[in-house]
Amino acid sequence: MSLDLIPQPRSVSPQPGTFTVASATVIAATGDATGPAWLLHDALRAGSGMAVPVVPHSESAAITLRLTGDGHQDFPSTTAERYRLNVTEDAVTIEAPHPAGLVRAVQTIRQLLPADTLRAAPVLGRPIELPCVSIDDEPRFGWRGVMLDVARHFQPKEFLLRLIDLAALHQLNVVHLHLTDDQGWRLEVPGWPRLTEVGSWRSETVLGHANSGLGFDGTPHGGYYTAADLKEVVAYAAARYITVVPEIDLPGHVRSVLAAYPELGNTGSAHPVATTFGIFPEVLAPSDEALQFARDVFDVVTEIFDSPYVHIGGDECPRTEWLASPRAKARADELDLGSTDRLQSWFTASFADHLRSKGRRVIGWDEILEDGGAPADAVISVWREFATASKALAAGHDVIVAPQKAVYLDWYPSDQPDEPLHIHGHLPLETISEFDPAPADPADDETEHVRPLGDAAEGLGASRGRVFGVQAQLWTEYLPTPRQVEYAAFPRLAAVADMAWSGMNSRRDHPIADRLPGHLSRLGALGVNYRPLSGPHPWQQGGTGPRARFDSR
Ligand code: TNX
């Protein structure tokens, strides 16, 4: 019998029989196992209607969650997420060295339950059964992420919570929020009120694709999160052992900042928040004011987010304005950089110093390796060419594998002409399911491969960097609403999750194509607007209006 689990666990032995969740069933857990136990309680309560109590000890039919380690494993790390799940006709036993592993096992149970149990209210009308099975599981990578761009199109807080829950269901452990960009600034920063007053909205948005020449929609678009909103998101994720990594994209992609505070730019002239998409020449001036601005923002960010990592962006930062600015050139000379092009490297180092003083490490897109490079402890999100990963590793950087050709879910999911508007490219599910994020990695043989992410200080001075893991990107230029994001994300994100958790041998032995049909019934029960395997439903197609497919390259 196939259990259609995604991701595929390391070892699964199905047994005959089932465990029935009955009125006498209890969940036994104590101490740090209690949080994961309540997650299981909530999952059962919603979809089965049964309030299975969490109790410290039990003599009767029980689901037991037990911590086996000393609880001191670092999280996130692959060791922290190991778990054993044993379902017999009489009992369900979950053991893990860390509560994170218990939570992963709870997610596996959510997948083992009938798909209808994932609904918000019971519809099943029959006993809730779990197939007997014994599972021994551990992820290949300690960083399994998904990035959501909430800057190009603001995404409501409720959707962040839903995405976190969907990430949890797929055993992902990082949700990266791209909080700022040319088209909008999405978080409150005390002392800089115009960031939200001015920078959080734009007057209108280009219709269709930026290159399709259809004009603008004339409709203001915007929104931002309060500190309380973001703390709620962080806490919701933390209960699921998911780290929310914030990104503040600097020193490029700052049109929303400069609309609010033109004095932070190189020309002082005011530009509105961008209403179209692409790469803009406007970047921060290499001034003390701009550095102070960044520090103030990072101070707020580190107060809200407990992630050991803060993403500083760093992508697509044109040098045009600096090269044309006598002040920028003078600053580069004063700093003895040897070249104006190195100003970005100076920004990166300054941000990293400030964040390091707060016990955090920076992550940047792979452009931060250029023109002077990045501090040794900077983690690189490799997004352009996969080959950059080896260069970054050789230079001693830890790496998050995120190449556009393999994990950019804003690319078209197929060649079909009826696909709704996406940015460009072609990224079918098959490409994802074949991609190996670390081909030369000894982890591939599925033996011991513990590579903890560790704390902020670890990795300093390492001669060769480590592959932290894999991350999918959901850029939202052309995915304006949660439904459109869901279409782009699913089921391809399930294939990314499989890639991030399971070793290559396991993925080859259990092709995801065999497990997806079963898994789609889970997404269906959750009301996810996924793309059917054969192509879009008529109502998901691009049609002939502004949402029509447009291939600009
Ligand atoms: C490049 S990936 C960008 C983003 C776009 C994306 C679209 C990266 C670091 N920069 O600004 O949204 O391509 O795929």
Domain end residue (candidates: 122, 137, 152):
137
CA pair distance 114, 25, nearest whole angstrom: 17
- Do 237 and 131 lie in a common domain? no
- Do 101 and 190 lie in a common domain? no
pLDDT at 553: 58
Q: ω before 428 within 30° of 0 (cis)?
A: no
Read off the pTM.
0.96
How far does the centroid of ligand 1 lie from the alpha carbon of residue 475, in Å?
7
In a domain, 335, yes or no: no
∠ CA 19-23-28, nearest 5°, is: 70
CA pair distance 376, 395, nearest whole angstrom: 8
CA pair distance 81, 75, nearest whole angstrom: 8
Q: What is the CATH classification number for the domain harbouring 195?
A: 3.20.20.80
How far does the centroid of ligand 1 lie from the alpha carbon of residue 149, in Å?
9
In a domain, 310, yes or no: no
Q: Is 383 in the pocket of ligand 1 (CB under 6 A)?
A: yes
pLDDT at 127: 87
Of 170, 176, 253, 519, which residue is the catalytic one? 253
Name the domain count of the chain.
2
Q: What residue type is assigned to position 28 of the chain? A: A
Q: Is 315 in the pocket of ligand 1 (CB under 6 A)?
A: yes
∠ CA 472-473-474, nearest 5°, is: 130
- Do 148 and 86 lie in a common domain? no
- Do 147 and 130 lie in a common domain? no
In a domain, 324, yes or no: no
pLDDT at 463: 64
In a domain, 322, yes or no: no
- Do 166 and 110 lie in a common domain? no
Instruction: Give percent of the chain above pLDDT 90.
Output: 90
Domain end residue (candidates: 137, 169, 200):
137
- Do 147 and 95 lie in a common domain? no
Q: Is 260 helix (H, G, I), strand (E, B) or coil?
A: helix
In a domain, 262, yes or no: no
pLDDT at 453: 39
In a domain, 319, yes or no: no
- Do 451 and 520 lie in a common domain? yes
- Do 420 and 535 lie in a common domain? yes
CA pair distance 486, 488, nearest whole angstrom: 5
Number of DSSP helices (H) and strands (E) in the chain, helices first: 17, 19
- Do 230 and 367 lie in a common domain? yes
Q: Among residues 398, 382, 391, 389, which one has the least CA distance to residue 454?
A: 398
Active site residue 253: yes
Range of the domain at 69: 11-137
Q: What residue type is assigned to position 515 of the chain? A: R
pLDDT at 270: 87
- Do 158 and 227 lie in a common domain? yes
- Do 192 and 90 lie in a common domain? no
Q: Is 145 helix (H, G, I), strand (E, B) or coil?
A: strand
pLDDT at 452: 35
In a domain, 242, yes or no: yes
72 contacts: CB under 8 Å, gap ≥ 6 = none
Domain end residue (candidates: 101, 122, 137):
137
Active site residue 59: no
- Do 380 and 488 lie in a common domain? yes
Q: Is 13 helix (H, G, I), strand (E, B) or coil?
A: strand
Q: What is the CATH classification number for the domain harbouring 40?
A: 3.30.379.10
Of 316, 436, 441, 458, which residue is the catalytic one? 316
CA pair distance 392, 467, nearest whole angstrom: 10
pLDDT at 448: 32
Q: Give the residues of the chain that fall short of pLDDT 70.
A: 1, 70-78, 440-463, 553
Six-digit token pair at 30?
Answer: 């104590």
CA pair distance 391, 384, nearest whole angstrom: 13
In a domain, 234, yes or no: yes
Backbone angles phi, psi at 87, to 5 degrees: -110, 120
